[in-house]
Amino acid sequence: DAKTTQPPSMDCAEGRAANLPCNHSTISGNEYVYWYRQIHSQGPQYIIHGLKNNETNEMASLIITEDRKSSTLILPHATLRDTAVYYCIAMGGGSYIPTFGRGTSLIVHP
Partner 1 sequence: EAQVTQNPRYLITVTGKKLTVTCSQNMNHEYMSWYRQDPGLGLRQIYYSMNVEVTDKGDVPEGYKVSRKEKRNFPLILESPSPNQTSLYFCASLPGRGDYLTEAFFGQGTRLTVV
Of 42, 16, 22, 17, nearest in space to 34 by CA:
22
The yes or no reply on residue 96 touching partner 1 (CB under 8 A) is yes
Alpha-carbon distance of 36 to 29, in angstroms, equals 21
Write the DSSP symbol of residue 15: T
Q: Give the C-alpha separation, 85 to 92, whole Å.
A: 22
Residue ranges in 58-87 that form contacts with partner 1 under rule CB under 8 A:
87
Of 10, 19, 21, 44, the one binding partner 1 by CB under 8 A: 44
Least distance in angstroms from the C-beta of 2 to partner 1 = 15
**Judged by CB, which is closer to partner 1: 62, or 92?**
92
Q: Which residues bind partner 1 (CB under 8 A)?
A: 32, 36, 38, 41-46, 49, 87, 91-92, 96-103
